[in-house]
Every structure is written in C-alpha cells, then in structure tokens.
Amino acid sequence: MNATERPDNSAPLGNETKVAAFEIKHTQFLDQLGSALNSLPEFAKDPDELIRLYRAMVLTRLFDNKAIALQRTGKMGTYASSNGQEGVAVGMGSAMQPCDVFAPVYREYGTQFMRGVAMHEILLYWGGDERGMNYAQQRQDFPISVPIASQIPHAVGAAFAMKLRKEPRVSVGVLGDGASSKGDFYESLNIAGAWQLPVVIVIVNNQWAISLSRQQQSLAATLAQKGIAAGVPCEQVDGNDVIAMRYIMERALERARNGGGPTLIEALTYRMSDHTTADDASRYRPPAEVEEQRQFDPIMRLKNHLTHHFEWNDAKEQALQAECSAEIEAAVKRYLDTPPMPAESMFDHLYETLPAIYKEQRDEVMRLGSTAGGKDHG
C-alpha cells in the first residue's frame, strides 16, 4: 500500500483537498563504471582536484586495511571499518571549510583526515587511549561518537552557537541509517528546522545497522524523507559517487552558510565490512549481497573515470599507493611507539580543577603505579 492512499481506496466523505505534497530527489553524476551521466560540476573538470579526492579515498581504504591488520594481530582494540564508504567521507570532507565543525560517528575517517585529524590519533583511540580524541591539528571538531545518534544534538547545538555569534560557519552532523530510528535525531532535526540553524545532517545509509537491514528498520521509501516532517530540505545522493556527494554537500553548506537553514542528506552507500572487528556479518548478511555491491565501489568508480579521461595509469596508481602506505606506516609507528599515559591521568581532565576530595583516590592510583591490574597491550 502506498502511504498516501486511503486504506480501503474509498471515496472521501468530507471535503478532501491536498494540503501538501513532497518529493525526494536523488543525485548521481558518475555511473558505476565511472562514466558521466550528465555534465559535471566545475570542480570535477579539474584533474588535480579529482586526484586529490581519489588520493583521500585510497588513503582511507589503505588505512582501514592496516587498522584491521593491527586489530587482528593484537596491536589494537576493536575497530570500526569504513571500507566501501570512502566516497561519502571524502565528499563531505572536501566540501567543508576548515572553520566548520564536524560531528562524526565512527566511520568518517576520510573526512577526519581531510580536516586535520591524524591517522595515529584514530589508531590511539581504537587502541584504548583518550589522547586519540585530543586532535592536535583539529581543535573544534567533535570526537568519534559511540552512543548512536547522540552526536546530532551536538552538531545542532554547535550550529546554534554559530548563528548566535553570526559567524559564517556550518556544523555537520553524521549518523547511520540505524541511528535515523532514534529520537535524538528526530528531536534535534526538528529544532534545527524550527530555529533555522546552519547545520547539515548526513545520514550515511550503509544498509545495515549491525544485523538489521535497511528494509527491517523502516517502511519509509527513503531515509531522506525523514526531513519532510521537520520542514527541513532533504534529498538523497549516491554516496559512492564522490563527485555527487561533494556537489550535494557543497550546495547544502552554502545554503546554511548564507542563512538558509539546515539540510538533511541521505547518502546511499554500503558497508563492505563487518560492523566492527568484533562482528561477523556472515551470521546475518548473505555473502552474495556483498559481492553484488563490489561493482558500486566508490574508489573503482573514480579510478575508471580518471583512467578514461585523465590518463590515470598503473604507474601513477602504484606511486600513489606507495606514498599513502608510507604515510600510514609512519602513523602506525608513531601509534605503537606511544607509551600509555600514567595511570593517574584518569583524573587529569575529570574537571578543569580536580576537587580536593578526589586527591586521595588519585594518590592511591599513583602509589599502585601503572602496573596495577597487570600489564595491558599497547
């Protein structure tokens, strides 16, 4: 049944008029083979810019592979892979300005790297060290957020601060398809609309909320349409087409920056990996579905486009991969060479100034030293 039809298809009894109608647009520039479906935006005509996007996606993918290897060999804790979602992350990152604020979930490494978060910081975080959220080069962005959808109110709150101070900045909040079932998301999306705040909210629809498929999560035809009830402009984009992702993001950011209020974007992608390294997706997801999705890979798509139009070749690819790998290896070394914080550091940032009554507990931790409870990895 179509949601707009009356359940029994009966004729209306009262004076029935249409008071509102909605549609959701979907945007894509490149098909899965990398051919342009229509004319490309200006930035996509510049090969250097496309190679920059391509490099950011490749770096993120190689980082991801390395992080999983570190976890598998006991050198890091549980890790959430972003494999397959690099187009969304890099599209967002390339569209944002440094002064903007980013509130990620935990699969937006591509965006974070473009915004100055260091690879070794992400490794430290998943390696069990809070310093991995103290981004040395990125002081404003929110850290990774584990409680689902809870970061969306933060993005909206940051947008409030920008509007209050009349700053030409925009806040970007990201959530997954699963998180779009949560009240945090609906509540703050609604307020963002009511208060016309400069925020772009991106639902990264990777089709799976751990083991719950997109179809099981909601009867809605799109997740983008969840913005309609809030009166927030909303649209869908092929998130595996980095050109489309960046284009749609740029448009939404520009509108927000110019006082036009919030936008909700649903970026379609696919989680190629397990939910995390602690998950086994084969328990609930048919392997054939994953294989089917390989043809839509965002990196392959842009690579094909570069090969056909901008003389990308194996030699350039190898050089790029070598360069990225060296960068990643340096980050891994820095992570592995970082000694744990002293045990009493757990008191260091509890409050701006530690209340005197906690000094005794801190002293106990210091007295017992870093070896209390046995040695951990790292």
Residues in contact with other proteins by CB under 8 A are 101, 103, 130-131, 133-135, 139-140, 142-143, 147, 150, 152-162, 164, 171, 183-184, 187-188, 190-191, 194-195, 346, 348-352, 355-358
The residue among 59 and 105 lying less far from other proteins, judged by its C-beta, is 105
Least distance from C-beta 304 to other proteins, angstroms? 40
Q: How far is the CB of 199 from other proteins (least distance, A)?
A: 9
| Residue 217 DSSP symbol | H
Measured CA to CA, the distance from residue 368 to residue 3 in angstroms comes to 64
Residue 338 CB, nearest distance to other proteins (Å)? 13
CB of 137 to other proteins, least distance (A): 11
Q: Using CA of residue 39, residue 41, residue 46, residue 47, what is the dihedral sign?
A: negative
Work out the end-to-end distance of the chain between its first and last CA atoms, rounded to an integer number of angstroms.
55
In 34-183, beta strands by DSSP E: 101-103, 171-176
Closer to other proteins by CB, 184 or 238: give it.
184
Compute the least distance from the CB of residue 343 to other proteins, in Å.
Answer: 14
* Residue with smaller CB distance to other proteins, 82 or 171: 171
Whether the CB-CB separation of 48 and 54 falls below 8 Å is answered with no
CB of 31 to other proteins, least distance (A): 38
Cα–Cα distance measured from residue 253 to residue 367, given in angstroms and rounded to the nearest whole number: 52
- Whether 68 and 110 have beta carbons less than 8 Å apart is answered as no
User: Would you say 156 or 242 has its CB closer to other proteins?
Assistant: 156
Residue with smaller CB distance to other proteins, 147 or 373: 147
CB of 341 or CB of 368, closer to other proteins: 341
Residue placing its CB nearer to other proteins in the complex, 32 or 134:
134
**Which is nearer to other proteins, 310 or 347 (by Cβ)?**
347
CA distance 68 to 82: 11
Judged by beta carbon, residue 58 or residue 117, the one nearer other proteins is 117
- State the nearest-atom distance from the C-beta of 270 to other proteins, in Å: 28
Nearest by Cα to 306 from 33, 62, 59? 33
* Type and span of the H or E element at 154: helix 151-164
Number of Cβ atoms within 10 Å of the Cβ of 239: 31
CA distance 160 to 16: 39
Question: What does each C-alpha distance from 176 to 40, 61, 271 come to in angstroms?
Answer: 28, 19, 11
* Amino acid sitting at position 320: L
Return the number of other C-beta atoms located less than 10 Å from residue 136's C-beta.
11
CA distance 344 to 212: 41
Structure tokens, 207: 């089709």
The CB-of-344 to other proteins minimum distance in angstroms stands at 13
Backbone angles phi, psi at 174, to 5 degrees: -115, 140
Minimum distance from residue 188 beta carbon to other proteins (Å): 4
On the CB side of 194, CA atoms within 13 Å amount to 7
